[in-house]
Structure 1
Amino acid sequence: MQINIDEPDATEQFWAGMREAAAAAARHRDYGLYEAIVKIGKSALAQGVELVPSGGLFLWCPVCSAQTGQRCINTPGHPLNETRLHAERIELAEKAMSGEVPLPKPFG
């Protein structure tokens, strides 16, 4: 399989693969796999790969408590955006991946 890193949806494909791995980590409650995913994600960001909004799937949601790999659910006062993740979860992911805040535990 050959991947063209210049193709328009290469970033989304990368993060889609990372989301699939995060879902597997959550399904098997595999902390080692989750930590490897975080390392890969941080390395990609350091090399200029853009973090897509769905990157919030790598963390639990502080609003609805959706686990790693799960989509958010609607809660009163916290509407879901077009990515089906709460804005607070997306913001937490951006801050955690940039190192502004420590990574929260991936599984409840």
Structure 2
Amino acid sequence: MTDAGELARDALQQIHRAAVRHRDPELHRAANQIVRAAMSHGLDPGPVESYRPCPVCGAEPGQLCINVPGRPVDPGGMHPERTQPE
């Protein structure tokens, strides 16, 4: 049986995927609010960084970051600013 944490992570990823598909920043903001709420209660929302737009290189949600002069990506393929909670 799937635990509640896994169900919540799956739901967050579904919200982010819908936001990418519909190009809806409000859905991204809603998912980010859920992530912050979960983290404030000590829950792990899982990796949802790739569904955020990158403030450094402009990578769209769902895409990996690209190197820009003086701003290489981390080993996971994203800029640190993208992976930090908002």
CA distance in 2, matches of 1:28, 1:18: 15
CA distance in 1, matches of 2:15, 2:75: 22
Letter in 2 for 1:3: T
Alignment pair present for 1:90 and 2:69: no
User: What's the CA shift for 1:45?
Assistant: 1.0
Alignment equivalent of 2:59, drawn from 52, 62, 66 = 66
Write out per-residue CA displacement over residues 2-56 of structure 1, whole angstroms, 9 at most, x where no aligned residue: 32358xxx5xx82x6534431320221234433331232122112112465x443
Alignment partner, residue 50 of structure 2:
57
* Contact residue 64 and residue 78 of structure 2 kept, 8 A: yes
Alignment pair present for 1:22 and 2:16: yes
Query: Identity percentage over the alignment?
Result: 32
Task: Name the structure, 1 or 2, with higher relative contact order (CA <8 Å, separation 6+).
Answer: 1
CA distance in 2, matches of 1:84, 1:17: 24
Unaligned runs of 5+ in 1: 97-108
* Contact residue 66 and residue 72 of structure 2 kept, 8 A: no
Letter in 1 for 2:60: Q
Q: Secondary structure at the match of 1:88?
A: helix
Q: Could you tell me the TM-score, scaled by structure 2's length?
A: 0.66
CA distance in 1, matches of 2:81, 2:26: 26
CA distance in 2, matches of 1:31, 1:80: 23
State the superposition RMSD in angstroms: 2.8
The number of residues matched between the two structures is 85
Letter in 2 for 1:37: A
